[in-house]
Amino acid sequence: MKTMLATACLTLLTATIAPSLSSQFAIGSAHAAAPCRDAKGKFTKCPAPKPVRCKDAKGRFAKCGTDGANPV
C-alpha cells in the first residue's frame, strides 16, 4: 500500500514539474540567442544577413532561381 502511494505521488510530481522545466529551458535558450552585443556588452542592432549570390555553370552571376545556378 505504501509503495503504491509513493509511486502515485512521484508520478503526479513528475507530471506537474517536467512541463514547466522544459518551457523554462526553451524560453531561456531562445532569449539568450536573440540580442546582439558589442565588445562592451551593450545591446546593439543585429547586422542584416548577407544576400545569397549564385553563379551559373560558366561562372557568371545569375539569379538563384534559374537552372544550373549554385550559391557562392
pLDDT tens per residue across span 48-61: 998 899 999 999 99
Residue-range definition of the domain harbouring residue 23: 1-34
Side-chain-side CA neighbours of 16 within 13 Å: the count stands at: 6
- Domain match, 62 and 40 both: yes
* pLDDT on residue 60: 94
Task: State the cell numbers at 43.
Answer: 545591446
69 and 61 Cβ atoms separated by less than 8 Å: no
- Domain match, 22 and 54 both: no
- Domain match, 71 and 42 both: yes
Best mean pLDDT range from 1-10, 33-42, 45-54: 45-54
Best mean pLDDT range from 14-18, 25-29, 66-70: 66-70
- Domain match, 17 and 41 both: no
Closest Cα partner for 57 from 49, 68, 48? 68
How many independent structural domains does the chain possess?
A: 2
pTM of structure: 0.36
- Domain match, 26 and 53 both: no
Task: State the cell numbers at 62.
Answer: 545569375
Task: State the cell numbers at 72.
Answer: 557562392
- Domain match, 30 and 40 both: no
- Domain match, 14 and 40 both: no
Give mean pLDDT, residues 14-39.
58
Give mean pLDDT, residues 4-9.
54
